[in-house]
Structure 1
Amino acid sequence: MELLTEQERQHRSHRATTIAAALRDRGIVAVALTWVDTSGITRTKAVPLERLPHAAAWGVGASPVFDAFLLDDSILSGHFAGGPTGDLRLHPDLARVAPLAALPGWAIAPADRYTQDGAPHPRDPRLLLRRIVDELATDGFMVRAAIEFEWVVSRTDPADPDAFHPATTAPAYGAAKLVELGGYLRDLLDALRDSGIVVEQIHPEYAVSQFELSIAAADPLATADTAIVVRETIRAASAAHGLRACFAPMVGVDEVGNGGHIHLSLWRDGRNTMAGGSGPFGLTDPGHRFAAGILKHLPGLLAIGCPSMASYLRLRPSHWAGIYACWGLENREAALRFITGADGEREYAANLEIKCFDPAANPYLALAGLLIAGRAGLAADLALPSPVAVDPAGLDRQTRHAEGIDALPRTLHDAVAAFEADPVLSCAFGAELADTISSVRRGEITLFADATPEQIAAATRWRF
């Protein structure tokens, strides 16, 4: 990516002036500039609306130390990240400024991080994702992506604020869940609509007081940006109803946990390569190779998509968490679930669902990693193994070995080791970002070295 030029800065300032005037008419007084750190936590700095043009042109100062934050806000000192020196500039992406309807008076904008010289920050996940999307476009491909949002709703208790108090104990997927919290869900949907988010589905989920929301597919960068708006809208709407939203992988060790499933479809020349082909279940050759790349690199990708110690409390067999590196048609126990969609809409709807990822993941890093792996599969002409039509946990170890069904890493330590041993991922992420990811993951491993599963769940419950 090129340096920010004086002409580009002037263009951004003029455009931001127009956007600020429109936001002012909607009662907006400030804009929150957001970025997501290596641990998966959304951080922010805000500017009064009248300062948006200056922020667009010249950015807002922010230390690069955030790359080295752990989820408890302690700070590492790694090879490339950490320490008190240096500064970056947060530049809002003006195409993605949106009112945060659940928080009256506020708008939100994802920020790209640049050096003070106007160069892209090499550890910025959003700029990485933008670059990978552009590289796929150069190859003649585009990707449509969507994220499922699972969260658990707790009632607040001033006497015990950090404990989990289910807002409803109605049955899994029960209509009673919707009835008991219908006003909350209605206001949430209203706020998402007013923030420009297209919601395709919302429903009660399996776990106690758990819900799920699905958004419309879009290009990966827009999808990651939307993920931040959706999560903060859920958080704000919950607070307005005296509730608290938990996005952590595990609210408690005896629960099922929250997933952060990602859906991907690869397109070329306006056609979905996941449908209409002669491969298994209608996959075309490019779609087949793209999926094979993701499956091959999934062990290392777990350090990105399951980045917390709490993530590995969720990854249990026969819990629809996709702990085996296999794929299958509508198989919710496979790490890659292939979805054709209903007959008649498959050319649009066919996609891959990555089941093992969770909400602790930085969405920019997660999507970038998946696209890197898929692109590597295209380049290497990889092939998928035979699809799996059963719960792999129900097969004995000898059968799984014979069919090439390997378990994904069961600990964060093993996932980091797989990430560091994967040259495709480390090369594409770049030395600085790859080293920072590993350092932060190892920092969390050290942080919880002596913690019980119950302590890990409690410490991470409200962090994401």
Structure 2
Amino acid sequence: MEHFHDDVIRQVAERDVRFIRLWFCDIAGTLKSIAISPADLETAFTEGIGIDGSTIEGLTRSYESDMLLRPDPGTFEVLAWRGDSDATARMMCDVLTPDGEPAASDPRRVLKEALSAAEKQGLELYAHPEIEFYLFQEHFQPGHKLRPIDNAGYFDHVHRGQGQDFRRSAIQNLEAMNIQVEFSHHENGPGQNEIDLRYADALTTADNIVTLRTVVKEVALSMGQVATFMPKPMIEHPGSGMHTHLSLFQGGKNAFHEPGAEYGLSRTGRQFIAGLLRHAPEYCAVTNQWVNSYKRLWGAQEAPSYVCWGHNNRSALVRVPFHKPTKGTSSRVEFRGADSATNPYLAFAVLLAAGMAGIEGEYELPEGAEDAVWELTENERRSMGIEPLPTDLFRALETFESSDLMARTLGEQVFEFFLRDKRNEWNRYREQVTEYELASTFSRI
């Protein structure tokens, strides 16, 4: 580890880095940071940097306050958008207690522990997210209609389009930070875009998602635009999802791949999907953590509303994409439920835990659904054993609260804070009188 410390200190000197931002997330996935000078780097690596955790959502209990940030030297990157002169760099941090133990409330710690449990079975999780977001001309103001930057649609090539210029700039910034992008394109909604990151191990991918969201917002502001990862910002247009391709590797080989099997999918892969399906109502509050998330799931615009899997079925919660028979590494499952506003550390942790429960419990995979599930009648879905996802945050929290799997995966402190915080969000939402209510009932009663 000291070698990595020395490498970071050398890069700081060679690249004229004047500020190092230590990044970490709260339980909701909101990025937090503190800046230190190069003179404090050695202390940060050996002792950690002290912070007052009592002001961070869910980071400490009421009787605790002091916490430490210890930067991960493998995540050192210069922030491309800040320029080369008097440069600023960032490192992702682990949050520690004053005695140097991992903080129970650190979302990055939650994912590390889930990955460690899988590694004891010889399995390593890799992920490839497809991250959607909207670009608007200005910030939201009450009473004003949102104005997307364009009226383009899926895969549209907009000549001299702002979105095209935006994606190019965002990708240049990401790749300057060694975050590899596979695809980018315009999505279905006006002003909606998608950037897909290349496969990486789950912890690196979670760090990269946090960084991507920051890069997207910074580049948008530099171009006079506003970016949002809100799951469903406009009623009449699609929401923003984060379809995520998942694979387990064992000894360098894809544990989901079996030559000659249907879809090239091994028994391990089928059990993993079965776990994702059986525990979906339990983890839905994590992968879809906002009141607004359920407007996307039940918005009838290609977001999954029901617990099922399929191959060509894009209404399914889990899809088994086409794979190249000669390329075993391409066997994977696509989880389509998460939205772009999830906390990626917690989301990957609960998805992995659900899939591992399927493997360890040898769950049987139910029959796949190749019909568009939205178009089936309620009776048809019931006869096929297809259950709905929670229809709102309140119902999602009810199922989450009763889940032993979620409590074990998140740990007592994260589990209790998440539940309390999200119940407060639901109660605040329930108290609102909306424009819809006023428009539909004010003059009729």
> What TM-score, normalized to structure 1?
0.87
Aligned position for 2:157:
175
User: Helix, strand or coil for the counterpart of 2:317?
Assistant: strand
Deviation track 1:289-341 (CA, whole Å, cap 9, x = no partner) reads: 11111111111111110000110111125311111110000321111111133
Q: Does 1:382 align with 2:363?
A: yes
Out of 414, 426, 438, the position equivalent to 1:433 is: 414
Deviation track 1:139-179 (CA, whole Å, cap 9, x = no partner) reads: 01112112211111112379999963211122333111774
Deviation track 1:125-148 (CA, whole Å, cap 9, x = no partner) reads: 111211221221110111211221
User: Helix, strand or coil for the counterpart of 2:351?
Assistant: helix
Q: Does 1:399 align with 2:388?
A: no
Q: Does 1:133 align with 2:115?
A: yes
Q: Does 1:30 align with 2:11?
A: no
Cα displacement (A) at 1:277: 4.9
Given that 1:320 and 1:355 are in contact with CA atoms closer than 8 Å, whether structure 2 keeps it comes out as: no
User: Helix, strand or coil for the counterpart of 2:69?
Assistant: strand
Cα separation, partners in 2 of 1:143 and 1:158, compared to 1, 3 Å: closer
Cα displacement (A) at 1:59: 1.8
Out of 47, 61, 64, the position equivalent to 2:50 is: 61
More deviation in 96-105 or 389-398? 96-105
Residue identity matched to 1:21: R
Cα separation, partners in 2 of 1:32 and 1:335, compared to 1, 3 Å: same
Cα displacement (A) at 1:55: 1.6
Cα separation, partners in 2 of 1:438 and 1:277, compared to 1, 3 Å: farther
More deviation in 318-327 or 151-160? 151-160
Residue identity matched to 2:280: L
Given that 1:108 and 1:229 are in contact with CA atoms closer than 8 Å, whether structure 2 keeps it comes out as: no
Out of 195, 202, 223, the position equivalent to 1:241 is: 223
Aligned position for 2:81:
102
Q: CA–CA distance in 2 between the matches of 1:279 and 1:417? A: 38
Given that 2:68 and 2:95 are in contact with CA atoms closer than 8 Å, whether structure 1 keeps it comes out as: yes
Aligned position for 1:119:
101
Cα separation, partners in 2 of 1:422 and 1:405, compared to 1, 3 Å: same
Residue identity matched to 1:291: I
Cα displacement (A) at 1:180: 4.0
RMSD value, Cα: 2.4
Given that 1:100 and 1:229 are in contact with CA atoms closer than 8 Å, whether structure 2 keeps it comes out as: no
User: Helix, strand or coil for the counterpart of 2:394?
Assistant: helix
Deviation track 1:62-89 (CA, whole Å, cap 9, x = no partner) reads: 33335636xxxxxxxxxx9554742111
Given that 2:69 and 2:95 are in contact with CA atoms closer than 8 Å, whether structure 1 keeps it comes out as: yes
Residue identity matched to 1:379: E
Cα separation, partners in 2 of 1:114 and 1:423, compared to 1, 3 Å: same
More deviation in 36-45 or 446-455? 446-455
Out of 299, 304, 309, the position equivalent to 2:286 is: 304
Q: Does 1:355 align with 2:355?
A: no
Q: CA–CA distance in 2 between the matches of 1:127 and 1:289? A: 26
Given that 1:299 and 1:409 are in contact with CA atoms closer than 8 Å, whether structure 2 keeps it comes out as: yes
User: Helix, strand or coil for the counterpart of 1:136?
Assistant: helix
More deviation in 420-429 or 14-23? 14-23
Out of 131, 135, 150, the position equivalent to 1:149 is: 131
Q: CA–CA distance in 2 between the matches of 1:205 and 1:397? A: 30
Deviation track 1:416-437 (CA, whole Å, cap 9, x = no partner) reads: 1111112122122222221111
Cα displacement (A) at 1:254: 2.7
Deviation track 1:369-421 (CA, whole Å, cap 9, x = no partner) reads: 11111111111000111000011111111111111100000111111111111
Out of 402, 412, 416, the position equivalent to 1:421 is: 402
Q: CA–CA distance in 1 between the matches of 2:251 and 2:264? A: 17
Residue identity matched to 1:266: L
Between the aligned residues of both structures, percent identity stands at 27
Given that 1:172 and 1:208 are in contact with CA atoms closer than 8 Å, whether structure 2 keeps it comes out as: no
Cα separation, partners in 2 of 1:291 and 1:277, compared to 1, 3 Å: farther
Q: Does 1:315 align with 2:294?
A: no
Aligned position for 2:189:
207
Q: After superposition, where does 1:267-278 map in structure 2 within 5 Å?
A: 267-277=249-259
Residue identity matched to 1:241: M
Cα displacement (A) at 1:15: 4.3
User: Helix, strand or coil for the counterpart of 2:96?
Assistant: strand
Q: CA–CA distance in 1 between the matches of 2:272 and 2:288? A: 21
Cα separation, partners in 2 of 1:265 and 1:453, compared to 1, 3 Å: farther
Cα separation, partners in 2 of 1:193 and 1:107, compared to 1, 3 Å: same
Q: After superposition, where does 1:364-383 map in structure 2 within 5 Å?
A: 364-383=345-364
Given that 1:279 and 1:285 are in contact with CA atoms closer than 8 Å, whether structure 2 keeps it comes out as: no
More deviation in 132-141 or 279-288? 279-288
Q: CA–CA distance in 2 between the matches of 1:331 and 1:127? A: 35
User: Helix, strand or coil for the counterpart of 1:176?
Assistant: coil
> What TM-score, normalized to structure 2?
0.91
Cα separation, partners in 2 of 1:283 and 1:181, compared to 1, 3 Å: closer
Aligned position for 2:212:
230
Cα displacement (A) at 1:343: 4.8
Runs of 4+ in structure 1 over 6 Å off:
157-163
